[in-house]
Amino acid sequence: MIIARNEEQLMALSKEIIKDYKVDCRLLAIDLSESNAPEKVFNWCNENSFDVNILVNNAGYGLSGNFLNYDIASYQNMMQVNMTTPLSLILKFIPTLKKHPKAYILNIASAAAYQAVPGLSIYAATKSFVFSMSRGIRYELRETPISVTVVNPGATDTNFANRADIKSDKAIRAAEKLNMDASVVAKMAVEGMYAGKAEVVTGFINKLGAFLTVILPKSILEKGAGSLYGV
């Protein structure tokens, strides 16, 4: 099952998946920022007797620039999509997942989860939430059949920068140099999930970046990010 807002894009993707992988692929066009969306997703699965054994929380977006550029409604929308909806889906689907001999939750956080990121401050905070939640509930679910994996990708070639309205030339140039292919990132995420990994950092550069967040002073990391995003 695939879920997002844009029905046309979902239909095109669903056709591609059915053709290329000879599997069924159903879709639900829904806005995951709506507070009753998780319930609608859950009911849709039940009505169609979908026996869910993998839950992927991938939908998410950022808001870039000076944090004062956005009002609380904009932040609430992002926090709902990035944090509240994934948590709500997890709570709803745990009983279904537990019925399987093996089940998986795959949460997409970000390399931004490891540090404060001036210029993407509130987005980075939502991803720290996803990261910390994922590691915490993984431990709490250790005696169950459910394995929780969190993926922290770095720059990936998707519509992310566009939707986050990243305008800094420095950030755009850095992303152009470092961008990973989305299919490579997705493969790493799924392989990590099936291998039962707690955490997946995609690619050598992002692993190095994650290591630097451990050894460098926070003030240096924040100055670097602020300069990259032009704040």
Ligand X SMILES: NC(=O)c1ccc[n+]([C@@H]2O[C@H](COP(=O)([O-])OP(=O)(O)OC[C@H]3O[C@@H](n4cnc5c(N)ncnc54)[C@H](OP(=O)(O)O)[C@@H]3O)[C@@H](O)[C@H]2O)c1
Cβ 229 vs Cβ 117: under 8 Å: yes
Residues 43-72 that bind ligand X (CB under 6 A): 58-61
- Alpha carbon of 113 to those of 36, 46, 77, 205: distances in Å? 27, 33, 19, 16
Q: Which is nearer to ligand X, 144 or 191 (CB)?
A: 191
Per-residue contact track with ligand X, 159 to 198, x per CB under 6 A?
Answer: xx--x-----------------------------------
Residues 77-136 that bind ligand X (CB under 6 A): 81, 108, 110
Residues 21-40 that bind ligand X (CB under 6 A): 31-33
Closest by CA to 161, choosing from 181, 186, 179, is 179
Q: Which is nearer to ligand X, 104 or 114 (CB)?
A: 114
**CB crowding 92-123: b at 16 or more within 10 Å, else e:** bbbebbeeeeebbbbbbbbbbbbbbbbbbbbb
CB atoms closer than 10 angstroms to residue 56? 21
14, 53, 96, 158: which one contacts ligand X (CB under 6 A)? 158
Q: Which is nearer to ligand X, 98 or 176 (CB)?
A: 176
| Sole window of 68-76, 154-162, 166-174, 203-211 interacting with ligand X (rule: CB under 6 A) | 154-162
